[in-house]
Chain A
Amino acid sequence: MTLDTIPRDVNARVASVEMNGAHGLRLMEMGLVPGAPVRVVKAAPLGDPIQVCVRNYHLALRRVEAQSIEVTLGE
Chain B
Amino acid sequence: MSAILDTPVIDQSAPPLEAKREATIVVAGNPNAGKTSLFNSLTGLRQKVANYPGVTVESKMGQWTLSPELPPARLIDLPGLYSLAATSLDEEIARDILLGRGPTSMSADTIVVVVDATNLVRNLYLATQLIETKQPIVIALTMFDLAERSNLKIDVQKLSDALGVPVVPVVAKQRRGLEDLAKAVTSIIDRGRANSVVLLADGNNDHERQSTLIKRYALIERIVSDAVESTNEGKHSVSERIDRVVTHKIFGPLVLIVVMLLVFQAIFSWASLPMSLIDNVFSALSDAVRAHLPAGIFTDLLTDGIIAGVGGVLAFLPQILLLFLFISILEDSGYMARAAFLMDRLMRAVGLHGKAFVPLLSSFACAVPGIMATRTIENPKDRIATIMIAPFMSCSARLPVYTLMIAAFFSGRKVLGVISLGAVIILAMYILGIAVAIAVAWILKHTILNAPPPPFVMELPPYRIPDFGNVGHALLSRCSIFLKRAGTVILAISILLWALMAFPRAGSVPSGQDGDRAAQIENSLAGRAGRLIEPAIKPLGFDWKIGIGLIASFAARETIISTLSIVYNVGESPDNKSSLVDALRNAKRTDGSPLWTPLVGVSLMIFFLLACQCMSTVAIVRRETNSWRWPIFMVGYMLVLAYVASFITYQGGHLLGFS
The interface of chain A, by Cβ under 8 A from chain B, is 17, 19, 21-31, 33-34, 36, 41-42, 44-49, 51, 53, 55-62, 64-65
Contacts and interface: CB of A to CB of B under 8 A. Distances in A.
Contacts of B354: 49, 60
B213 A25 contact: yes
Contact of B85 (A29, A46, A55, A64): A29
A51 B248 CA distance: 12
A42 B354 CA distance: 17
Interface in B3-22: none
A59 B459 contact: yes
B121 interface: yes
B538 interface: no
| Max chain B C-beta neighbours (<10 A), residue from A28, A53, A65 | A28
Nearest to B248: A45
15 contacts: A24-B206, A26-B455, A29-B213, A30-B457, A30-B459, A33-B214, A44-B344, A46-B345, A51-B460, A56-B121, A57-B119, A57-B460, A60-B337, A62-B344, A62-B456
A45 B214 contact: no
Given A29-B82, A33-B217, A44-B344, A65 B457 contact: yes
B82 A30 contact: yes
B459 A57 contact: yes
A64 B122 contact: no
Contacts of A19: 206-207, 209-210
A62 B346 CA distance: 13
A25 B216 CA distance: 13
A28 to B, nearest CB: 5
Nearest to A33: B217
A58 B459 contact: yes
A49 B344 contact: yes
A36 B459 CA distance: 17
A60 B343 CA distance: 12
Nearest to B230: A56
A54 B133 CA distance: 27
Given A28-B210, A46-B345, A49-B344, A23 B455 contact: yes
Interface in B336-360: 337, 340-342, 344-346, 348, 354
Contacts of A36: 217
A42 B345 contact: no
Contacts of A29: 82-83, 85, 125, 213
| Max chain B C-beta neighbours (<10 A), residue from A17, A33, A46, A60 | A60
A28 B249 contact: no
Contacts of A48: 344-345, 348
A9 B302 CA distance: 67
Interface in B111-139: 118-119, 121-122, 125
Given A45-B253, A48-B345, A49-B344, A31 B121 contact: yes
B598 interface: no
B304 interface: no
B151 interface: no
A47 B210 contact: no
Given A44-B341, A60-B460, A55 B213 contact: no
Nearest to B457: A61
Given A36-B217, A44-B341, A25 B209 contact: yes
B58 interface: no
A44 B250 CA distance: 10
A44 B213 contact: no
A56 B456 contact: no
A23 B87 CA distance: 9
Nearest to A46: B345
A57 B122 CA distance: 9
B218 to A, nearest CB: 8
Contacts of B455: 22-23, 26-27, 61-62, 65
Contact of A34 (B87, B214, B252): B214
B223 to A, nearest CB: 14
A60 B341 contact: yes
B243 A59 contact: no
| Max chain A C-beta neighbours (<10 A), residue from B214, B239, B250, B253 | B214
A64 B492 CA distance: 49
B536 interface: no
B146 interface: no
A52 B126 CA distance: 21
B456 A60 contact: yes
Contacts of B439: none
A27 B118 CA distance: 20
B213 A49 contact: no
Contacts of B345: 44, 46-49
B458 interface: yes
A48 B329 CA distance: 26
Contact of B460 (A47, A59, A62): A59
Contacts of A47: 345
A25 B85 contact: yes
Contacts of A61: 455-458
B180 to A, nearest CB: 26
B374 interface: no
B34 to A, nearest CB: 14
A48 B341 CA distance: 9
* In the A-B complex, the 8 residue pairs with the closest CB atoms: A46-B345, A58-B460, A19-B206, A62-B456, A29-B83, A45-B249, A33-B217, A31-B122
A31 B221 CA distance: 11
A28 B344 CA distance: 22
Interface string B212-234: 01100100000000000000000
Given A28-B210, A42-B243, A61-B457, A51 B341 contact: yes
Contacts of A33: 213-214, 217
A17 to B, nearest CB: 8
Nearest to B252: A45
Interface string B411-437: 000000000000000000000000000
A35 to B, nearest CB: 8
